[in-house]
Amino acid sequence: MATKQLNYAQQIVLQILQNENKAISAYYLLNQAKPFGFHAPMQIYRILNKLMDYGLVVKLDSLNMYLAHECQHQHAYQLLTICTECQKVQCVDLPQLGQVIQQFIHPQHFNCKHQHLELLGQCALCCSQHKD
C-alpha cells in the first residue's frame, strides 16, 4: 500500500494499537488515548474508520475489536485466527482462498465488504495453561 500521511490523531491511535499488540475495543482505546486529548467515542470511531480505509487497521467483527495490521495485498483474502481468551490474532495471507471465494461469489453477484475470515478459538499458549 502507498504510504499515507497520517494526521496527529491518526498517528496516536495507530501507535496505541501497535503498542497493545493484540485486539482491543474502541472504548479501551479511548481510555488509553485520553492523556492525548481524546474524550469522545465518536473521535475514536472516525479515526479507526479512516485507518481501516488506509488498510492499517482491521476490525474483528466477531469480537467488535480492532487490531493494527497492515494489509499487504488489498485484494487478497486473509485468514485471521483469534484467541478469545487473550485476543492474540495471527494473520495468514491465503491467495488460494481468494480464488475459491471469488469462484463462488462472482456468479452470485455478491459484493464482499471485508476480505478476511475470522476463526475463533484458543491459541496454543492459552490451551496449554488449561491442561493441568
CB atoms within 10 A of CB 87: 18
* Widest Cα–Cα separation across the chain: 50
C-alpha cell at 112: 464482499
Q: Global pTM? A: 0.79
Q: Which of 9-13, 53-57, 91-95, 122-126 has the lowest mean pLDDT?
A: 91-95
**Domain residues of the chain, as ranges?**
8-68, 78-129
* pLDDT tens digits along 41-74: 999 999 999 999 888 999 999 899 999 987 665 5
Q: Are strands 78-83 and 116-121 parallel, antiparallel or unpaired?
A: parallel
Q: Indicate if the pLDDT at residue 32 is higher than 80.
A: yes
Output the pLDDT for position 90. Answer: 87
Which tens digits make up the pLDDT trace of 71-113? 665 556 788 899 988 888 888 777 788 788 888 888 888 877 7
Give the residue among 120, 109, 4 at the shortest CA–CA distance from 56.
4
Specify whether domain 78-129 bears CATH 3.40.190.290.
no
Q: What CATH number labels 8-68?
A: 1.10.10.10
Contact between 108 and 70 under an 8 Å Cβ cutoff? The reply is no
Q: What is the pLDDT of residue 1?
A: 42
